[in-house]
Structure 1
Amino acid sequence: MSRRGWILFVAMCVVWGIPYLLIKVAVREIGPAELVFLRTALGAVLLLPIALARKELRASLRPWLPLLIYTVVEIGLPWLLLSDAELHVDSSFTGLVIAGVPLVAAILARLMNRNEKLTAARVGGLLVGFAGVALLLGFHVGAGGVVPMLELVGVVVCYAIGPLIIERWLADVPRYGVAAASLVVGAVLFAPVVVPDLPDLARTVSLGPALAVLGLSVICTALAFVLFFALIAEVGGVRATVITFVNPAVAVILGWMILDEDVTVLTAVAFALILVGSVLATRRKAPDRTADTAPEPVPAS
């Protein structure tokens, strides 16, 4: 990759590695639904001018049903489940579980496309990766409870489905248009429940959670989309997806350094299993450099 490509790659690894930390700080005083609304609304305010300036918004609204489903599956539901789960579990643990997204995506890709071969190496990777996820969930279910574990599993499934929706129904829709429109739709969906309580929230929230919301909206949502699209343009979709394997390490380091969360030998072993399994399960033959059209993931938190 070029120097610009490496800079964008490192920036994205950090930008999509810090949401778990910020969510953990925000939910101390802000409810999950309120957090999702604020993040989508502020993110939409920042991305809408870009989509409008590029004249991409109208085209993104034509396939309204796939866009609505994509918004629910990739933004509304997983962000809500993720925020609620982090009321009970560490941010570093959350980041590690979300690292299992490529494993579920590999299975879904095979179910939807019979040409997607499951070689012995890929099957082995799935088994190794899921062993790592099971190890994490099994040892944390006592501390966090069953419900947060199920919520995180739901987030993993949602994040795996989202790129497949883009690949099948929204592949020809402009990227900034999809990003801006989905955030607007997400904010509208949560508005009836959240908006009446916003005045009370504004009077009671302290500086830390407020800054966490701002960071989630500006850095982890709006800026993340801009950087990610630039990364795709620079290195292609296939290489851009490699950030999925690095983000969890960033989440663990930040949780340990800032929130004083425990990092144990179990954590390291589980992460190694998930990482190796994900790499093997998503491994393909060398792609055609002239037709780099891998599904594009979205911010994994």
Structure 2
Amino acid sequence: MPPIFGHAVQRFALLLAASLSTGAALAQVTPDMGKLTATGGVSQLEGAGGGGLTPWALIGGYGSRDSWGANAYYTRVTTQDYSLDTYGVAVGLFDRVELSLATQDFRGSLAPLNDLRIKQDIFGVKVKLIGDAVYDQDSALPQVALGVMAKRNKGIGGLGALGVTKVTQLGAKDDNGVDYYVAATKILLDHSLLLNGTLRATKANQMGLLGFGGDKGDSYEARLEVSAAYMISRKLVAGVEYRMKPRNLGADNEKAYYDAFVAWFPSKHVSVTAAYAVLGDITVFNPVRQRGMYLSVQAGF
């Protein structure tokens, strides 16, 4: 982990321990749905609460600081040559801590990678450090959270005829890795605007689907991710996202991700997000900029 994240880790650990120490009383607390509609965000591709591509400092679920909330989601992204299914669950504790589990299932559809299949599991923890994106309207201070994503790549399927069964055979240094991030989110209610900036320390190739580190680099790099969203109404939000990526693999000239999205919140129990996403090139074996539709459904409380 790079030094830029070191000063926040101790506070992260203390806040996480303090929040989880109240877990014994969790069963006695009824979810109160106390947060404003849409202020938990949607489920991001790696399971954290935020936008579709990048985590925000918001804590998932609608539980207030005296309660808890949870959600489950399913997301499908389809491009010209690939598809990505991701699904999982997240729990928000006392509007302070978020725990998430996600599985990603990546498939190819065009030769020579039409039988390609890669799966990855992700466990995430996010802790709010300072600020409140909603209630601190008289302050310029955003809500700030520190997060960790532990990722386990489960290998490569469909390329056995080529003798490739692990991401390390494509040049990755490891098939497991950890991302660290700091997110800052500000909601400007008077302007119906949400702004977010996330700084992620990562060695992940294509979110970890192609492993971690590689022949071109094996050090943590800080990468910026930004989001802006406009609240058209209390139930409809539109926005854009941009996510920088590392370039560790000679076999993958990785490019930034970006999208334009619309999220609909018919109630606090359900949300639907649609987006047009651009995911850049994915491996030199199919050097075409991948773009297509993103659709996500989230249900919870």
Q: What band does the TM-score fall into relative to the shorter chain?
A: under 0.3
Q: TM-score, normalised by structure 1?
A: 0.26
Q: TM-score, normalised by structure 2?
A: 0.26
Higher helix share: 1
